[in-house]
Amino acid sequence: RAGNRHLLPRERTMRCSRCLVALAACGDALSPFQILKSPIKKLLGKDAAAPATGAPDPFLKDFSRPMSIPEEGIAAAVEVMRGGRLFRYCATSAETSHVAQAEKEFAAMVNQKYALGVNSCSSAIMLALMAVGVEPGDQVITNGFTFTALPSTIMRLGAEPVLVEATKSWIMDLDDLEKKIAAFPDAKVLLLSHMRGKVCDMDRVVEICEKNGITLVEDCAHSCGVTWRGKQLGYHAKVTAYSTQSDKVINSGEGGFITTDDDEIAAKIIYLSGCYERRYGKHAVRPADELCEVAMAEMPNLSCRMNEVTAAVMRPLIKNLPQRVEAYNRRYDAVVKVLREEAGDVIVVPTQDERVGTVGDHLNFYLTGVTDEQNALFRQTCVAMGVPVSWFQSKVNARWHVNWRKYGSPTFDLPNTDEVLRFAYDLKMPPYFDDEDFPAFAKVIAYASNVAAGKIE
């Protein structure tokens, strides 16, 4: 430290940043806490000369911790384990099955006729695509900016993903969608992902699909609680997939739901998911027995079932989601307020269509007016100060289409998407944090952006 004292504040910042470069080079292997326990903490913390004026305290809470399971869910899961009936079809009836009751409750939450619980959202997407007739050799149009599970699932079925550009609002570019439909006239299914709950003009999506004979499947993995025109998102599609994985607003560890209003599709997905013989009677929301009998004879069994413990822990989180959405959004607004007030000329937080009702469970933003070197300094500073922002163009990020090519996903030139993601970031908004924590870590982000942009001397 003594060797730094002769430097001007800006020079100290740059010398600190050189130390951060070495740590950030292996940033995927180091946690923020490992970094904060290193000598960098002494450079950035209160016990050392600040690298620049106005530096906030490092943030010390763990961003990786998901929401806790309510006591009601814990008690229900323990009761299931005591009884031993973990397999959904071991339940004595639909009324005593946590999975069947969770399906009923989820269908009511999303205001759709049927819901089917499965072991993951990827399974939900796979079964949804199969239910609408996707076969090997087909082309399926989907987002160029989404999670790797979408192209992976399309390819798992022997089909080919056709990738569509994203806009600066992080939604599918509907002009490019129309271009891709024209360029790939054999594609008859659109798998539309609402990445991080960002929603494009659904009225126009429906219009485009109807005009071109396209079947719409929605990936609402990030959209439990998100609404379009006041209704839970997902109702425009023939079939919709939702996630209850731990990073989402309903935490079951791993899990998902498929929803539909179509009787025939509902029967198909019940049997595709792993129902067999006449166990359809243990589903609380199901189509007519006649349709289930047909599906029993015709559908393969893919064993994607949800288990009773998974359903038991999540049911209270389905019930209390509306109250939790209010808290998510209040805290999200507090973060955005700090970013816009303290770094509004460097940080851009995308806004949504006024017809969207949002859920602020993740913070997404991008930097503007910076170079690649400044962008690197930004994330290095954030991570060193305890805020593990995730860069979308990292070589290991599962949401950048360039990384999908490594496992054989088709190559598409998506310059607009690449430009959007070049300086773009993602950050969880952990519900266990206290209210005052949100503006505190927002100040770290704002500070890091101003340091990177050279605005703090």
Each residue's pLDDT tens digit, 35-73? 444 433 443 444 433 334 589 999 999 999 999 999 999
3-class secondary structure, 429: coil
Contact 50, 414 (CB under 8 A): no
Rounded CA gap, 319 and 326, in Å?
Answer: 14
Q: Which of 21-30, 52-61, 146-155 has the highest mean pLDDT?
A: 146-155
Q: Could you tell me which residue, 201 or 50, shows the higher pLDDT?
A: 201
The string of pLDDT tens digits covering residues 313-372 is: 999 999 999 999 999 999 999 999 999 999 999 999 999 999 999 999 999 999 999 999
* Percent helix, percent strand, percent coil in the chain, to nearest 5: 45, 15, 40
Contact 227, 356 (CB under 8 A): yes
The alpha helices in 111-253, defined as continuous H runs, are 121-131, 149-156, 174-183, 202-212
Please determine, for residue 28, whether its predicted confidence score (pLDDT) is greater than 90: no
Average pLDDT score over residue span 364-385: 98
The residues, any chain, with a CB within 8 Å of residue 393's CB and separated by 6 or more, are 400, 402, 418, 421, 422, 424
Q: Report the pLDDT value the prediction gives residue 456, as an integer from 0 to 100.
A: 85
Q: Report the pLDDT value the prediction gives residue 4, as an integer from 0 to 100.
A: 42
Please determine, for residue 218, whether its predicted confidence score (pLDDT) is greater than 90: yes
Q: Report the pLDDT value the prediction gives residue 53, as an integer from 0 to 100.
A: 53
> Which pLDDT band, with edges at 50, 70 and 90, does 168 fall under?
very high
Q: Report the pLDDT value the prediction gives residue 54, as an integer from 0 to 100.
A: 80
- E-only strand ranges, 270-355: 347-348
Please determine, for residue 29, whether its predicted confidence score (pLDDT) is greater than 90: no
Amino acid identity of residue 74, one-letter, is I
User: Distances in Å between the alpha carbon of 304 and those of 64, 88, 269, 455?
Assistant: 27, 11, 10, 53
Please determine, for residue 6, whether its predicted confidence score (pLDDT) is greater than 80: no
CA angle 80, 82, 86 (to 5 degrees): 40
Which helix or strand (DSSP H or E) is residue 190 part of? strand 189-193
Contact 214, 340 (CB under 8 A): no
Rounded CA gap, 17 and 454, in Å?
Answer: 12
Residue 76 token pair: 């229900």
Rounded CA gap, 261 and 1, in Å?
Answer: 66
Residue whose pair of structure tokens reads 């609408």 in the numeric block? 132
The residues, any chain, with a CB within 8 Å of residue 187's CB and separated by 6 or more, are 138, 139, 140, 141, 162, 180, 181, 214
Average pLDDT score over residue span 263-267: 98
Lowest average pLDDT, out of 19-23, 125-129, 144-148, 226-230, goes to: 19-23
Average pLDDT score over residue span 160-181: 98
Residue whose pair of structure tokens reads 């509306």 in the numeric block? 322
Contact 367, 347 (CB under 8 A): yes
Lowest average pLDDT, out of 25-34, 81-90, 147-156, 324-333, goes to: 25-34
Task: Give percent of the chain above pLDDT 70.
Answer: 88
Q: Report the pLDDT value the prediction gives residue 457, as an integer from 0 to 100.
A: 65
Rounded CA gap, 422 and 391, in Å?
Answer: 8
Average pLDDT along the chain: 91
Q: Report the pLDDT value the prediction gives residue 358, as an integer from 0 to 100.
A: 97
Q: Report the pLDDT value the prediction gives residue 23, as an integer from 0 to 100.
A: 44
